[in-house]
A and B are shown apart, each in its own frame.
Chain A
Amino acid sequence: MSTKSILPELVRRFEAEILNDWMREQRAAITLRADLLTDAELARQSAEFFAAFQAGLQGQDLGEITGPAWGTARDLLKEIARLRSRQGFSLSETATFVFSLKQPLFALCQRELEREAVLLVGELWTISVIIDKLGLFTAESALAAREEIIGRQQAELLELSTPVVKLWDKVLALPLIGTLDSNRTQVVMESLLQAIVDTGSSVAIIDITGVPTVDTLVAQHLMKTVSAARLMGADCIISGIRPAIAQSMVHLGVSFTEIVTKATLADALRHAFARTGVSVSRQAAG
């Protein structure tokens, strides 16, 4: 565009009107989530962003939203996107916040530049470029915020899901629940080995009752854990192998030879008692 855009001037002149129209637009939109965001909060966010938007328009290159003039607007959008991702807004609902500003601006230009078609097309293009870029930026920020949340939850899950339980003197149990992948197995292996050192246990029972599927990779991970524990001087017992899993494992060609396997945790504990020389007897009733 060769001529200087009159958009900043227009926006400044009809500031209140645009904001009003925009608010109306947002309230009418089907993506409005009145259940998640109060009207007052929406008005505050809108007013803040509109001020930043105006500040951005004062910059040299209007379409370049990565420039310093748009800094405040970018920060604000990032914050809003993060907030909305946490509140449970969908991506399009979040992005509509910015996109809905298009309509009031278009309407304004159309009214004010009615007789100047060339100028009108130029301004509309400018608006489109800016709003699209801001909208995409918002969507990306929302996505990044969401990914951050997912990453954190994964890490938390990883920590939560690997408790090492002391069953008896020198007998540890590791009840595994959920799917095992390489990452989780690494954590499981490390926490089990550390627990063996800390407690001086000579028997560790790995219970896989809660593991829905065991494929060759999981089996390999389990065998590695058992081998590492053995190297440290502790015996491992794998228990809780369900009939379906036993069948599929043998079909896959995985057989835990050299590893003690038991059907239930109780059997494994009995075996562990025998190994450590503990005897349990039931007292006669009476």
Chain B
Amino acid sequence: MDKIPILRMGRFLLVTIQVDMHDQLALALQEDLTSRIVKDGARGVLIDISSLEIVDSFIGRMLGTIASMSRMLDAETVLVGMQPAVAITMVELGLALPGVRTALDVDKGMEMLRSRIGPDGEMTGHDPDP
């Protein structure tokens, strides 16, 4: 079974979902990501879903829970690159993912992470918006 790669970039983890997610894959990602965050001591997680074109209620919910879990492990999580069609579907499914940070692309997501987490891995500044 294929796996979704988790790349380490300094103190951040980068997850790019390049294939259509199925339920098993999403569960495996949840497992892998949480253990990698703890193992690497990651302070930030960037999940790029720009190639994801189809979501169902399960995958939509998984994206939310994965983001919440990473945050619970003290890693800032940013979901980047959601396609318009996916965004509309998520909203129609009632999965607005409150509390999950989003950005337009990987670049902006990285910028967001860097501005919130200093080079020493400590949080800087206060939270300007929820």
Contacts and interface: CB of A to CB of B under 8 A. Distances in A.
Interface of A: 189-190, 193-194, 196-197, 200-202, 224, 227-234, 258
B91 A228 contact: yes
B53 interface: no
A119 to B, nearest CB: 69
Contact of A233 (B80, B90, B92, B98): B80
B104 A200 contact: yes
A232 B108 contact: no
Given A227-B96, A232-B82, A200 B87 contact: no
Given A224-B91, A227-B96, A228-B91, A233 B84 contact: no
Interface residues of B, number: 22
Given A227-B96, A231-B90, A231-B97, A190 B104 contact: no
Interface string B97-116: 11000111100110000000
Given A227-B96, A258-B130, A233 B104 contact: yes
B88 interface: yes
A202 B108 contact: yes
Interface of B: 79-84, 86-88, 90-92, 96-98, 102-105, 108-109, 130
Given A197-B84, A227-B96, A258-B130, A232 B104 contact: yes
22 contacts: A190-B88, A193-B84, A193-B88, A194-B84, A196-B104, A200-B104, A201-B104, A224-B91, A224-B92, A227-B91, A227-B96, A228-B84, A228-B91, A229-B87, A231-B79, A231-B87, A231-B90, A231-B102, A232-B84, A232-B102, A233-B105, A233-B109
A197 B84 CA distance: 8
Contacts of B82: 231-233
Given A224-B92, A233-B79, 10 more contacts: A193-B88, A197-B104, A200-B105, A224-B91, A228-B88, A230-B102, A232-B83, A233-B81, A233-B105, A258-B98
A194 B86 CA distance: 12
Contacts, number: 58
Query: Counting chain B CB atoms within 10 Å of each CB, which of A189, A196, A227, A233 scores highest?
Result: A233
Q: Is the interface of B mostly helix, strand, loop or mixed?
A: mixed
Nearest to A230: B102
Nearest to A193: B84
Nearest to A234: B104
A189 B90 CA distance: 13
B88 A233 contact: no
Nearest to B96: A227
A232 B96 CA distance: 11
Query: Counting chain B CB atoms within 10 Å of each CB, which of A224, A228, A258 scores highest?
Result: A228
A228 B90 contact: yes
B91 A231 contact: yes
Query: Counting chain A CB atoms within 10 Å of each CB, which of B84, B92, B109 scores highest?
Result: B84
Contacts of A231: 79, 82, 86-87, 90-91, 96-97, 102
